[in-house]
Structure 1
């Protein structure tokens, strides 16, 4: 059985988030939590929150055993981009793009 958790509008670019997400795919939940807690990146913190949410969904809603769960997939999609302007010389302005992303974590029972 599969359980998922979604974190929408996370204030980090999808490109930075995907580097962290690739590290935990296919691992057990305990290994993934250990790796994320010792990774010094903002994306690791946000992904750890989403992983804990998926774990709580599995435990409370689907009544699955936490020990047998594996990270089946982690999808990071681009969210909407907030656009801000930064004043520059001679009355011109540059665009600042504050990117967001949507994080989806899917957990599944370990096969075998």
Structure 2
């Protein structure tokens, strides 16, 4: 039995979020949530919410009552579309600023 949750278009740089995802990959859900709660990174908050959502999906959709037996089977941080913004530069030019986004996918299994 697998439960999946996705957080899409999260305003987070994938390169900075992947080390946080590596912390919890393969851990039990309770242990992963405890680790993320005290990780001082912005990515930890979004990954925490996505794991909680996947656990809720397991309870609701698959009628899985004991969430403590679940573990993080797969967690992916994929790159989403970048927002494009411009800032003024010298001599009337404009410089591109790319605000990157991420797609977070969590798969829980027993």
How many residues were matched structurally?
A: 109
Unaligned runs of 5+ in 1: none
TM-score (normalised: structure 1): 0.95
Distance in 2 (CA, whole Å) between partners of 1:13 and 1:93 is: 23
Q: How far apart are residue 94 of structure 1 and its match?
A: 1.0
Aligned twin of 1:11: 11
Normalising by structure 2, report the TM-score. Answer: 0.96
Structure 1 residue 39: Cα displacement: 0.4
**1:50 is the counterpart of 2:50:** yes
Q: Structure 2: how far apart are the matches of 1:63 and 1:16?
A: 35
- The root-mean-square deviation of aligned C-alpha atoms, in Å, is 0.7
Distance 1:47 1:34 in 2: 12
Which consecutive residues of structure 2, in runs of 5 or more, have no partner in the other structure?
none
Q: Separation in 1 of the partners of 2:104 and 2:51?
A: 10
